[in-house]
């Protein structure tokens, strides 16, 4: 009863929204129109998930040219990223019966693709009532989410069991999705779509640093996707480094969420690190809270710390800095990235902070790891193409075999109207993977 009541009062709640939110409030309420409907609704929650949409659309377009799509995101930054794809885009409807009905009536999709983990009950209820097939692609699930979804009871389990396909990033995700009711015959491991949309390294890293206003002759450490609590620990670790290290390295810090920037910047400043928004102060950090800039910093860096890993957030994607040519520094809390952490660790070129103990807090372990990473000769990136990070059912197999495995899994996991759509051809992915592997071999 709660969701229908919230849906009923949601239009009036606009007066309490921020000015920016008021501009898109009608989209939150499901206001959208696609005359004649669309072939597929593709939803990505935020900026991170939105990076998986372009490679997915490219493969869909390769096998179904001229198809129509409607793209949605939950956040405004995700919406802005999706708009670059040149397709109709809006914010996703809130999870109420009224908004969901209004949205699905307005765009009339013939199928739905949800990126990663977006299980909104009223979306799934409406899809079931209208016999609209729904697939989760690049699906991931944390242990915490498993516990939460199990607590919602058998009704949600029934909705998950009705999904047309669940295409998981890794074996652990596969196990977790089965635990909450995903149909075993339509659940497969196919890898992470984000690995098909990773950036390329800069041809000249010194020139890349000059291009973003840094000293091209000094190495760069990027502190990316910082979450609450991490700037304080990293600041203490940074201030414990020898003076010559702090003066030699340039440091740029980028928070995960711009709205938390003031709080996170205050953490670093209170710990004693000099902070500036438009230059790197001597021995300090440049702070950049703009959205969409992290990849540019990664491409200019020798070493990149990946946030969400010193505190219990599960970690963020370590493949982005690795693909850009940077060695990766990461904390112990990377459960949601475990497959890729293992692959990068096996390949070398990465540094991992050990877990805290009663005698060694996080900042101290981070201090020692940071000292080793900044004092040693630069390591090459651990990136060796997508084959290194796909779920390694048979690790010695080639990328070409892995693409074939992905294609077979995609096709086999679909059913009914989704089969030709979820069975995305791997031709283009295979060509890009082979090209990237050749480039990596030449570079090494």
Tell me the catalytic residues. 49
Question: Which distant-in-sequence residues (6+ apart) come within 8 Å of 1 by Cβ?
Answer: none
Q: Is residue 116 within 8 Å of 166, Cβ to Cβ?
A: no
Burial profile 271-286: b = 16 or more Cβ within 10 angstroms, e = fewer? bebebeeeebeebbbb
DSSP 285: E
**DSSP per-residue string spanning 371-417:** HHHHHSPPPPP----GGGTS--SSTTS-HHHHHHHHHHHHHHH--GG
Contact 213, 279 (CB under 8 A): yes
Nearest to 351 by CA among 368, 363, 335: 368
Helix (H, G, I), strand (E, B) or coil at 425: coil
Question: How far, in Å, CA of 382 to CA of 223, rounded?
Answer: 18
Handedness of CA 418, 420, 423, 429 (dihedral sign): negative
Dihedral angle of Cα 401, 404, 410, 411, to the nearest 10 degrees: -150
DSSP symbol at 337: G
Burial (CB < 10 A; 0-12, 13-18, 19+), residue 313, is buried
CA distance 329 to 169: 22
Residues in the chain, overall count: 444
Find residue 328's DSSP bridge partners: 304, 350
Phi then psi dihedrals of residue 41, to 5 deg: -100, 125
Question: Coil, strand or helix: which one is 141?
Answer: coil
SS3 percent helix, strand, coil of the chain, rounded to 5, is 50, 15, 40
Give every CB contact of residue 300 below 8 A, 6+ residues apart in sequence.
202, 205, 208, 209, 211, 212, 214, 220, 222
Angle between helices 261-271 and 230-239 (to 10 degrees): 30
Q: Which two tokens stand for residue 65?
A: 């040219």
């Amino acid at each position: 009863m709660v969701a229908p009541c919230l849906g009923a009062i949601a239009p009036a709640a606009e007066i309490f929204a921020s000015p920016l939110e008021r501009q898109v409030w009608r989209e939150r309420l499901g206001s959208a129109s696609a005359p004649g409907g669309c072939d597929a609704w593709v939803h990505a929650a935020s900026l991170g998930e939105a990076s998986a949409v372009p490679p997915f659309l490219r493969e869909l377009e390769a096998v179904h040219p001229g198809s129509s799509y409607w793209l949605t995101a939950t956040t405004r930054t995700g919406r802005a990223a999706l708009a670059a794809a040149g397709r109709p885009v809006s914010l996703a409807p809130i999870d109420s019966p009224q908004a969901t009905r209004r949205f699905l009536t307005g765009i009339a999709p013939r199928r739905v693709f949800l990126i990663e983990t977006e299980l909104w009950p009223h979306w799934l209820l409406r899809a079931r009532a209208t016999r609209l097939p729904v697939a989760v692609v690049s699906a991931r699930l944390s242990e915490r989410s498993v516990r939460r979804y199990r607590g919602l009871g058998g009704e949600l389990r029934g909705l998950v069991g009705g999904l047309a396909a669940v295409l998981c990033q890794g074996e652990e995700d596969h196990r977790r999705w089965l635990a909450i009711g995903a149909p075993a015959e339509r659940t497969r491991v196919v890898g992470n779509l984000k690995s098909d949309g990773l950036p390329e390294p800069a041809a000249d890293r010194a020139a890349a640093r000059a291009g973003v206003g840094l000293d091209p002759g000094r190495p760069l450490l990027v502190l990316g996707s910082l979450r609450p609590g991490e700037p304080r620990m990293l600041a203490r670790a940074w201030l414990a480094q020898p003076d010559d290290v702090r003066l030699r390295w340039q440091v740029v810090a980028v928070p995960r969420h711009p709205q938390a920037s003031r709080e996170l910047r205050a953490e670093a400043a209170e710990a004693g690190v000099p902070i500036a928004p438009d230059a790197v102060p001597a021995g300090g950090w440049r702070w950049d809270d703009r959205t969409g800039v992290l990849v540019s910093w990664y491409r200019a860096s020798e070493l990149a710390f990946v946030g969400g890993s010193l505190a219990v957030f599960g970690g963020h994607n370590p493949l982005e800095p690795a693909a850009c040519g940077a060695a990766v520094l990461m904390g112990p809390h990377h459960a949601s990235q475990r497959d890729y952490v293992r692959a990068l660790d096996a390949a070398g070129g990465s540094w991992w902070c050990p877990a805290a103990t009663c005698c060694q807090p996080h900042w101290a372990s981070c201090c020692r790891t940071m000292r080793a990473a900044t004092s040693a000769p630069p390591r090459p990136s651990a990136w060796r193409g997508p084959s290194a990070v796909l779920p390694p059912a048979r690790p010695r197999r080639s990328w070409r075999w892995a693409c074939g495995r992905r294609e077979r899994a995609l096709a086999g996991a679909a059913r009914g109207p989704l089969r030709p759509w979820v069975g995305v051809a791997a031709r283009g992915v295979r060509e890009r993977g082979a090209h990237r592997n050749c480039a990596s071999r030449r570079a090494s």
